[in-house]
Amino acid sequence: MRKGTLATLDVPRPVPERPVPERRVPERRVPERPVPAPRILVVDDEPRIRDFVSRALTAAGYLVEVACDGASAMARAAGGGFALVVLDLVMPGLDGQAVLAELIRRQPDQAVLVLSCLEDVPTKVACLEFGAKDYLTKPFSLDELLARIRARLRGDGHPAGDVIRAGELSLDTWRLRADIGAGPVELTRLEFLLLRELMEHPGTSVPKEQLLASVWGLQFDPGSNVVDVCVRRLRSKLGFETIRTVRGEGYQLAIS
């Protein structure tokens, strides 16, 4: 070492610490509870049809209970819990229309699909007015019955308590009430369904045959005036100018 120079020391550099890998704790999956299958009550006094429908619904994954007459149907339905009641009309004792009216009176939310040999329009209209969600005539296609049941169990597309609006008009889908600014007015189920169909097609005319099919579940009948009668009742409740007649086409909601 030369005189007048400083000695340098080799200082070892610190060795960087290696990060300790985190120990991953495996997530504990909570097993999902299976969704219970919908319960369906099949009411029919004909054993052959009752057994055929119940077997088909069971094979489709539904929980099925059966009743052979109106009295036993009311007893089974008293506790509630049925997603759908498939109801015949022509039965001994308490007939299907009486059962339907009493069911809806006790449980307004109960979904009912009428399955009957009666195919006249007044009977269909009466059942829908009572509160039935759908009407299918015998003889029937099993595929169509299952499709209608799936459609009923999917619901109407609007959750309970939902309010549809079109301009100043509002429609309460839960209470079946319409309000155009003068206070809510009560609607029958058919009036509600027809008005909702018009409100879901704002600015366009809806053909009478489409209204007849979607509201009444009927094929177009040139001699039927049920659509016109229902429109007339809605106009008397909401004002004549609320629904416009489009000549040669159908009806249109006149509110922008």
Chain mean pLDDT for the chain = 81
**pLDDT on residue 129:** 87
- pTM over 0.75? The answer is no
| DSSP state at residue 247 | T
| Beta carbons within 8 Å of 51's beta carbon, 6+ residues apart | none
Q: Give the separation between CA 149 and CA 73, rounded to whole angstroms.
A: 19
Confidence of residue 125 (pLDDT cuts 50, 70, 90): confident
Q: For residue 157, what pLDDT band results from cuts at 50, 70 and 90?
A: very low
**Contact (Cβ atoms closer than 8 angstroms) between residue 114 and residue 89:** yes
The reported pLDDT for the residue numbered 36 is 67
Task: State the Cα–Cα distance between residues 119 and 230, nearest whole angstrom.
Answer: 20
Query: Any idea which of 78-87, 152-161, 193-202 has the lowest mean pLDDT?
Result: 152-161
Q: If you search the block for the tokens 């119940």, which residue do you land on?
A: 54
